[in-house]
Each structure stands twice: as C-alpha cells, then as structure tokens.
Structure 1
C-alpha cells in the first residue's frame, strides 16, 4: 500500500505580497498566551509546520517579541502571519491566513493559565495550562 501523499497548504497575507506553502501542517491550536494577546488583542488560532516544509515568498518583517521568539508580518500590509521560536523545529502559521483549511481540526487550547477573565472557554476542547510538548507538531 502506498503512503499518503503529503498535504500541501497555501496561504497569503491580506494584500497578497507574502505567500506561503506548507507541507504536512499540524492541526490548529488556540493560544491564549500574553504574547498573542498583545499582538492581536485576543487569542490566536495557529497550526505548526516543520520549518523545512514551509516556503515563504515575499518581504516578511520579523519582529522580536521576546529574547526567544519573534512574529512575522507582511512588510506591506502588516498582516500577522507567523510566530516563531527559532530554537524549535516548527513555525506557527496563523490559521486565518491559510487559503484552504479543509482537513484541519482544532485540537485544543494552550496557555489557558494566561487567559484573561473577560471570556470563558466553553467548546469542550482540551485545555492546557501551558504548552504541551509537541502540540504544534501533531
């Protein structure tokens, strides 16, 4: 029996100046950490992809957000596209920028210990106080 062909996902920023292709992306996680809150005003939905399976075209502005992580934005329209910790094997791709999410599912919530009090999580998905090892790889 032949192995399944890798699933290819494409995406882009709001203006289309930055595009990406990702192979074998993980399912989506909601992240409630304070970094994501400060970057977006709330939580994010992101899927992980191994960095050697992510091709980015266009001018991405990588902004340091801590001594270990950075966020990637389109240099033209400012769209928030990627979250990256260079020491990890995966890059997080913000799900709203993926063209076709068919086949992806939300696996759960991470960093709920940092979630603000003004909303509740009521969807029944698993919740993790911090980051479960391998979360954005599976």
Structure 2
C-alpha cells in the first residue's frame, strides 16, 4: 500500500480522542508502521494507545465497530470500512443514533446490516474483501 499520510478523521483535532469509530475502521486496515506513526503523532498515553490497538484488532477481525458517546455524548455509532479495488480502506459507512433508542439487539442487527452494506459498496468498488 502506498504510504500516504491520510486524515483519518475530519472532525476537530483538539478533541480528547480524534479517532472515533468511523476513523478507526479505516485506521485498522492501514500498515502497522503507519498506524504507529499516526498514534505517535496524536501523542496518546501508552495505556490509551494500547487500548486503541486492541480496538483496531477487533475491527480487523469483525470489520465493524460500535461506540457509545465516543464522538458525541448520548450518541451511538456503528461503522464498517469500505475498501477499493486494491483492498485499501477508502472510507467508512457510519450509522449514528441517540443512545436511548439503541438497544443491544439494535446494535447486533445494525452491525450486521452496516457491515454487509459496506461490503457491498466495497464490492462495487472492486474489492475482493
């Protein structure tokens, strides 16, 4: 994969954690040295960095993630990566909803739907993942 430094999140960079769910779904599929560089640039504490690396591994395995109040207090997000014809991450499909309306069943079912829709978009873009 070409070593392009990319903007993982377009949200304001001075927030406590600029790598919200949708950004993490992209970050998870970058090269390990680029992930390390990005996390070092963000100056995360070592415990926070380890937590993010654990989350990224989970995203690689599941190709979907869900978060609660990570970007915005009281909101739940479910995101899945979108890949191009070279199987590189190029975007993320994200659903957000008010947390009080999101039950565990909604997260479970929507996660499958979001992952399937992202896979379909990726397929249209020529991805084999």
TM-score class, shorter: under 0.3
**Greater RCO (Cα-Cα under 8 Å, separation 6 or more):** 1
TM-score (norm 1): 0.27
TM-score (norm 2): 0.28
Structure that is richer in strand per residue: 1
Structure that is richer in helix per residue: 2
